[in-house]
Amino acid sequence: MVSGWVKLNRDGAFLLNSYSAAIGGVIRDAEGNQLCGYSMVLGKDKVFGIKARSMLEGLRLLWDKGYREVELECDNALLVEIILAEEALDCHFMELQAIHKLIQMNWRIRIRHIPRAHNIVEDFMAMHVAI
């Protein structure tokens, strides 16, 4: 990652036995130092909705904290594809519309898909909150 940039790793979790969903994320600097993070319980939702909400909340936090050069990693290939293809414009899914609106603001964002195995800390955060 380029110096001056920050990276957001985020994830969501759904626990079948408790019917609850939760999200969590970590913002790190170019050296890998944790700058801040977030986690919250959402209640019931579908997997795609959980992933989208996690991305949305992470982007909101980044914007509110004043970070303007951001690398966002996501382990959901479909979500990344929809965002990068700007298909969110024609979508009735509110989280996708809000994500698209946020990424159009005055900042530089790189969004890329990563394997789930590379998202271990964020997966743990989301699962821990959901318990």
Residue ranges per structural domain of the chain: 6-130
- Cβ burial, residue 83 (10 Å; 0-12/13-18/19+): buried
In CATH, what class is 6-130?
alpha beta
Mean pLDDT along residues 39-45? 84
State the pLDDT confidence band at 127, using cuts at 50, 70 and 90: low
- Angle formed at CA 89 by CA 107 and CA 26, multiple of 5 degrees: 45
Rank 9-13, 56-60, 120-124 by mean pLDDT and report only the highest: 56-60
Q: What tokens appear for 30 in the block?
A: 């170019």
Evaluate the CA torsion angle 123, 125, 130, 131 in order and state its sign: positive
Name the average pLDDT for the chain: 84
| Amino acid letter, residue 83 | I
Can you give the pTM of this predicted structure? 0.83
Plot region of 19 (φ>0 → left; ψ -120 to 50 → alpha; else → beta)? left
Torsion angles phi and psi, residue 68, rounded to 5: -120, 0
pLDDT tens digits, one per residue of 67-125: 999 999 888 899 999 998 876 667 778 999 999 999 999 999 999 998 866 555 544 54
**Cα–Cα distances in Å, from 19 out to 42, 71, 122?**
10, 31, 20
Rounded-to-integer distance, Cα 128 and Cα 131, Å:
5
